[in-house]
Amino acid sequence: QVQLAESGGGGLVQAGGSLRLSCAASGSTLRDYSLGWFRQAPGKERDFVAALRWSTGATYYADSVKGRFTISRDRTKSTVYLQMNSLTPEDTAVYYCAAGWGKIASTVATTPYDYWGQGTQVTVSA
């Protein structure tokens, strides 16, 4: 069992601005897990944003965020971060942290992920 708690969203950021989301994990060692970020805009499906393989740090990104977003981890804090730069209104969504066992970081599907955080709202104004 892995418990995930996101933080860092909830406010309003202007287009072109930056925001960093955090996801603190607890309950299990993350060595064999992949951690990912997904987002869901109103009326749309939950989409892959970025993920990393905890043991190696290998990272994967959706094309829409490459060059703007960076996923990283702090092993000592069991925390994964999503640094978001050059934000646009199209980035407005609820952002979810997720954890799944195994080498699933390269997949964009939600189904391999077993554990999800509660989500944090990111709103970008034009």
| Position 10 confidence tier, pLDDT thresholds 50, 70, 90 | confident
| Position 9 confidence tier, pLDDT thresholds 50, 70, 90 | confident
| Position 13 confidence tier, pLDDT thresholds 50, 70, 90 | very high
Contact assessment for residue 88 and residue 15, using Cβ atoms and an 8 Å cutoff: yes
Q: To which H or E segment does residue 6 belong? A: strand 3-7
Report, as an integer, the average pLDDT of 96-113. 92
